[in-house]
Amino acid sequence: MQEQPSESLQRITLTMVLLNAFTTPLMLSGVNVALPAIAIDLSMNAVLLSWIPMAYLMASAMFVLIFGRLADMVGRKRIFLIGTGSVIVTSLIAAFAVSGTMLVAARFLQGMSAAMLYATQVAIVSSVFPPAKRGRAIGLTVSTIYLGLTIGPLLGGFVIDAFGWRASFLLHIPLAFVVLLLGVFYVKGDWSSDERGSFDLFGALTYIVSILIICIAVSYLPSTLSLFLLALSLFGFAFFFLFEKVHKHPIFNVTLFFTNRIFTFSCLASLIIYTATFANVVQVSLYLQYLKEMSAASAGMIMMCQPLTMAIFSPLAGRLSDKIEARYLATAGMAVSCGGLLLLSNLQVDSSLDYLLGALVITGFGFSLFSSPNVNAIMGSVEKRSLGSANGVMATMRIFGQMTSMVLVTLVFALIIGPVEIDVSNYDALEKAIRLTFSIAACLCLPGLYFSVARGK
């Protein structure tokens, strides 16, 4: 039985996690601002351009469960630090990419590295903080992620205008080195599951291949091959789910879905809200820089409003979730986000910036009201020995939702704009694609409301 960590260890560990929670989204959101500049420099069409964020999310979704399980087996801090070092290396590769294909490949490796962080951040926090303090610590972690998302577009925009798009991949590296130093020299010990078990290699491969197939299928929509691949992917996921149910040491603890209603419905609500909201930053970036003809720096200042709102209100929501039932806070947040997405679905070329800012703030406030309480509900609904697995499942729902959000964008762009470079001749199609995507996202929140309110106490 592992001892409760001291307060000093709690503080230094939280500092390490918070710095990392800031640096990765700093880079991620900064790159979103760089998309138009990348498209011009590397001559990438609209569909291939959407694969820059898509490849990152696909790799993260593929490997976050795997690293969550490995973290339980060999130590959460160890996987966390390996991921931090890998993100530094793959970011350098992306910064010096000489073609669109090379950049997409580098983004895949970057996403694979980041999966180690997504699989361990909240698990480490949950390992070192007692239940009475966990909600506040999780709220700070979530808030710091949104702070990185806030500063990324602003700082990234200025850096891109001054030094070019490649600099957006280098913003986070100095702080990432600080995280490594803290983890190696100051955060003593590690945390893992009391029962190591064995690694489910077959289940891991089945899951990876299923995600790969569904992402390839989207690229070929609406062809017959695409429909066949989608069906094959769904079969793969169903087989994986059934296989994990009977495996003694699964990488995806599906038993929780059959025995824990709060866990199940909270995860489904998380999947839905990330699917509905993640692609906001990508679409707003394209809207501002193409349709509004704004610079990267100016667009970044507008884009920061939504994550800034999240950063401000997430700690408050986290504290409230220690006292108020999570389903009430999270359901209210889902409803508010739905309203913000409805406003964004009416966005037009001549819409005022005040209208856009208001819609982004409303969406961000709703998301912050949802996120921290929902995370606290998930982590508080499982036993301590399952924290790593629960974090892996939670991170998978989040990343799979983010990936699905980009799949939606890729699909709509492929059907409405097609595999051509974005220019003045297809601005009308771009506006139509953006509005349609936001409309679908708002509709997705309706089942999310049900799962959020029906999860129970």
For 270-323, what is each residue's pLDDT tens digit?
Answer: 999 999 998 887 888 889 988 888 887 888 788 888 888 887 887 788 778 777
Residues 433, 145, 58, 271, CA torsion sign = negative
pLDDT, averaged per 10 consecutive residues of the chain (457 residues), comes to: 66 88 84 85 80 86 85 86 92 91 92 89 80 76 79 82 87 89 82 71 89 80 81 90 83 77 88 89 86 85 83 79 80 93 92 93 92 80 68 75 82 80 83 92 92 79
Contact 170, 55 (CB under 8 A): no
Give the pLDDT score at 90: 94
Q: What's the N-to-C CA distance of the chain in angstroms?
A: 29
The phi-psi region of residue 191 (left if phi > 0; otherwise alpha if psi is between -120 and 50; otherwise beta) is beta
Instruction: Please give the Cα distance from 308 to 143 (Å, whole number).
Output: 9
Reported as a single tens digit per residue, the pLDDT across 157-212 is 888 888 888 988 888 899 899 999 988 888 877 776 666 667 888 888 998 999 88
The phi-psi region of residue 43 (left if phi > 0; otherwise alpha if psi is between -120 and 50; otherwise beta) is left
CATH topology of domain 7-200+247-453: Growth Hormone; Chain: A; (1.20.1250)
Give the pLDDT score at 392: 65
CA triple 123-206-89, angle to 5 deg:
55
Query: Residue ranges of the domains in the chain?
Result: 7-200+247-453, 201-246
Spell 236-262 as b/e; 16+ CB within 10 A means b. Answer: beeebbebbeebebbbbbbebbeebeb
Nearest to 114 by CA among 171, 166, 59: 59
Query: Exposure of 85 by Cβ count < 10 A (0-12 exposed, 13-18 middle, 19+ buried)?
Result: middle
Nearest to 395 by CA among 111, 94, 107: 111
Q: For residue 90, what are the CA distances in angstroms to 135, 172, 346? A: 33, 12, 38
Give the pLDDT score at 388: 62
Give the pLDDT score at 272: 93
The one-letter amino acid at 395: A
Give the pLDDT score at 1: 43
